[in-house]
Amino acid sequence: MSESIARNPSEESKAELRKRLLRARGEAAAAGRADDLVAARLREALAHYRPHAVGFYWPLAGEFDARAIIGEWLAQDVRRQAALPVVAMKGHALQFHAWAPGAPMRIGHHRIPEPEQARPLLPDLLLIPCVGFDDDGYRLGYGGGYYDRTLAAWEGTSKPVTIGIGYEACRATLPRELHDVPLDAIVSDAGLFARAHASDRS
C-alpha cells in the first residue's frame, strides 16, 4: 500500500480522501491490468454465494464494469435475474429494476442510465462500487448516501449479501461514522475478502 493511500484519515478531510482515492482508482482502471483479476474474483463470489437475483450498478468513470460478467452469469441459468439501481427521488433509498443485456435504457437522476421498463426486483446479492475500502469491509462512496439509506431500509432476512467492488490501489484507512455498516465482502484484483460472519450467508 502506498504511503499516500495509507495516511491517517484524521489528517485530511473526507473530501480530500475521496479525491485522492478517485485519482488512484482512475489510474488503476486506466492501466487495465487489474480488470481481468477483478472479473475472476467476481465470478468466484457469484459461485460462492449462489444468488438468485443480483443487484449491480451501471459503471461510471473509473468503476469496474460488471455488465459482461452479469450477462454471462444470467446466460447460465434462465431462472437467474439481475437489476440496476434507480433513483426514484433524490435523497431517498434506491429502488432496483430488472435488467438483462440489451434491455432498453433511459437516463435517470445524476445522468446515470437505468432500465426503461420499471419492473421492481429485490436482489439477494448486491454489488456496490467503492471509491475506497478498508480491511474491515467499510466502504467510501461518492458522498450521496444512497447506498447507506438503501441498506438501512432493508430489514432482517430481506437484506441482501453486500459485496463491494474496487481496485486494491484504493484499499485505505477510512474514517467511520456511527451509521456506517461494513459490507459482507470485498472483491478486488487481489482477491475475494469476506468478513467472518458472511460465510454464514452463503
Segment 67-90, tens digit of pLDDT? 999 999 999 999 999 999 999 888
What does the pLDDT profile of the chain (202 residues) look like in tens digits? 343 354 554 556 889 999 999 999 999 999 988 999 999 999 999 999 999 999 999 999 999 999 999 999 999 999 999 999 999 888 889 999 999 999 999 999 889 999 999 999 999 999 999 999 999 999 999 988 899 889 888 866 678 999 999 999 999 999 988 878 899 999 999 999 998 765 455 5
The C-alpha atoms of residue 170 and residue 60 are separated, in whole angstroms, by 16
